[in-house]
Amino acid sequence: MKTRIILSLVMLLTVLSVKAQESVETRIFPTNQIIAPHLIEVTFSKTVHILFPSEVKYVDLGSYDIIADKATGAENVVRIKSAVKDFEGETNFSVITADGCFYSFNVVYKNEPAQLSIEMEDWLRKNPMGGAADDRMFVKLKELGGETPLVVNRVMYTLYKKNKRDIRHIGCKKYGIQTLLKGIYINNDLLYLHTSLRNTSDISFDIDHIRFKVVDKKVARRTAMQENIIEPVRTYNRLTTVDGKATVRNIFVLPKLTLPDDKMLVVEIYEKGGARHQSFRIENTDLVAAKPISELHLK
């Protein structure tokens, strides 16, 4: 009886041992789920600079063989070089930018790198409707809520291309400059403001800054006006100058916003080194009348 028990235990352990040695099935990721890395050559005595279309938010290095950081004073430039001479094999690093794009790089050592200055393609802004955009995965950004950077860029791109004027009562015209609010649109708790700035003079208008602020409609004398600054989460064109006899347009994306009856949204455009400042007011009735983006029939 003991012999049978021992034999049974031996057989059981043998079966378990064989099963443990069997290879576990490995799933292979489909091609469309793999982000193809770019190849970067680095060396010890030279620095490689990579220019990204948007501000760099995150950089992660695969090993101590390389060093990388944002360039001083330039939020969208990463500099990278080898930390040791002649390191063997291959390492990597990854970058996430403010527009939600994820970049992957493989790095090898080369005494004389083929490229020292690299500009990454701004395909998301140039053509967000293209097929390349559909093949991309994007990092979800807190500032955009539940929206993806791709959809936001597609909305801005479509509004700019259509160039409709749905609002005709909001704007400012003085000093040879005319500023118009052409439309307000809403999608997934984001407001899209389509603006136009026309310079009818021969003197260029240099933009210092553009400010969005919520203020009281009526303020008692000797009472400081309370202001709440609203920062755009996206801007389609980062304008610096409007040439003489020129017209420029822009799309500003703001977080969801409604106002009480005693408040208004003021948009101010300040001229650098000049006094031709522009401003216009937006009432709550204008905000709640924002058109849904669904009417644009995005791809």
pLDDT in tens, 241-292: 999 999 999 999 999 998 998 999 999 999 999 999 999 999 999 999 999 9
Residues 6 or more apart whose CB falls under 8 angstroms from that of 102 comprise 35, 94, 95, 96, 137, 138, 139
Confidence of residue 27 (pLDDT cuts 50, 70, 90): confident
DSSP calls for 201-270: SSS-EEEEEEEEEEEES---TT-PPPEEEE--SEES----EE-TT-EEEEEEEEE-----TTEEEEEEEE
Confidence of residue 8 (pLDDT cuts 50, 70, 90): low
pLDDT in tens, 120-178: 877 666 666 655 555 455 676 778 877 778 888 889 999 999 999 999 999 999 999 99
The separation between CA 154 and the C-alpha centre of its own chain, rounded to angstroms, equals: 12
The pTM (predicted TM-score) of the whole model is 0.71
Nearest to 61 by CA among 83, 46, 76, 44: 83
**pLDDT of amino acid 23:** 57
Nearest to 168 by CA among 293, 286, 288, 261: 286
pLDDT in tens, 95-127: 988 877 889 999 999 999 999 999 987 766 666
Q: Token digits for 42?
A: 């680095």
Please state, in angstroms and rounded to a whole number, the distance separating the CA atoms of residues 234 and 231: 9
Is residue 55 within 8 A of residue 76, CB to CB? The reply is yes
**pLDDT of amino acid 268:** 97
**What is the phi/psi pair of residue 254, to 5°?**
-115, 150
Please state, in angstroms and rounded to a whole number, the distance separating the CA atoms of residues 122 and 232: 20
Nearest to 159 by CA among 141, 133, 182: 182
Chain mean pLDDT for the chain: 86
Please give the C-alpha separations between residue 144 and each of 66, 98, 187, in angstroms, as whole numbers. Answer: 33, 11, 11
**pLDDT of amino acid 24:** 60
